[in-house]
Amino acid sequence: MGIRKSLELVCLTVIGVLTVTGCSNYIISHRLETGFHDWSKVQVQFYAPEGAQVTLGQVNWGTITPDRVHQISSYGDNKTRFERTPEQTATFNLAPGNYEFKYTAAEGWPNVSIYGELNIYSLSRNAPIGAKKMLKRCFIPIALPSPGTVSSASPRDDIYPYQSSANRLRVSRDELERLAVGDMVTKVVFIADLKKAKDEVDNLEIELTKLNGEKQRLQALLNEAQLDWLDNPSSKKFIKLQVKIKKLEQTIEKKEARKARLNRLLKTDNVLIRREMLVLATDEILPAHEDPVAAAKELGQVVLVLRLGGRHQQWGKPAAELASYNK
């Protein structure tokens, strides 16, 4: 009887691992997460597409070794991200560092593997005051790409981390097409210091008032210099003033753009009685053609960077996957 009970327990454990919607065609050993009370770790929850399998890999001496795997479960009609009892969410509890991951068995893509990278950042000395408390209580939800992921959005996806309806913490259709031809997609999540952003907006308003006043002064001098230039075309004062005004206009334009981005960030907060907010970095709040990680660091504490790529990598258990696909 003791042996029989042990075998029953093993079977129940395996079934418990696989009793989520859309089980994959092959099994990778499931190692439970640990260190949930280690507040230096960041919890990352993959919530879509349901049934897909997420495998985390460790990089050692240039090779990637599968470390643990979770399968994305069904959340039902409610679409909340609460932990199920017993635990079913595909949540990874990650210490600061770099991780490789792959996901497979997504609905609509039965034989597709997509590879990615997760960078988890530790808190810096300049982190917002409440950043540590946020990490202690918050998790970061991520939706991976599939043909149905973009269209199956929940209204709650616009709430947390802040993101516009066009820029959820998921991959858009355009980004899917880029991945399919070998490109890379980067997502950055950071904890914004809203007080710092508001103070900067106030200071920018003062600076812009001064700069616009200086522009008016230079414009008046330019009008006078133009008359002199008409009488004496060899005079360079008129040209120099034009260059000065153009440089000043460029400075004003940059500061106005910065102010607009900060105001968009501030307007996303509907709680108000807090200083910090978890934010997805998008082109609404970051400048174009700049490193998104460096730009996000100017607004707060970067917590997570996710990179998905279309390059073939072939790590994990490709032989087992191929065998299951050929059945």
Q: Kindly state whether residues 237 and 88 are assigned to the same domain.
A: no
Res 327: pLDDT: 54
How many domains, in total, are found in the chain? 2
Q: Using the 8-state DSSP alphabet, how is residue 229 labeled?
A: H
Average pLDDT, the chain: 80
Q: How far apart are CA 6 and CA 30, in angstroms?
A: 18
Sorting pLDDT into bands at 50, 70 and 90, what band is 298? very high
Q: Kindly state whether residues 276 and 130 are assigned to the same domain.
A: no
- 132-147 average pLDDT score: 86
Check: CB of residue 188 under 8 Å from CB of residue 291.
no
Q: How far apart are CA 177 and CA 11, in angstroms?
A: 41
- Supply φ then ψ for residue 252, to 5 degrees: -60, -40
Q: Kindly state whether residues 18 and 126 are assigned to the same domain.
A: yes
Instruction: Give the side-chain half-sphere CA count within 13 A for 74.
Output: 9
27 pLDDT higher than 80: no
Q: Kindly state whether residues 7 and 61 are assigned to the same domain.
A: yes
- 142-170 average pLDDT score: 58
Largest CA distance in the chain: 111
Segments forming the whole domain that contains residue 123: 2-190+305-325
Q: Kindly state whether residues 252 and 155 are assigned to the same domain.
A: no
What are 42's strand-pairing partners? 94
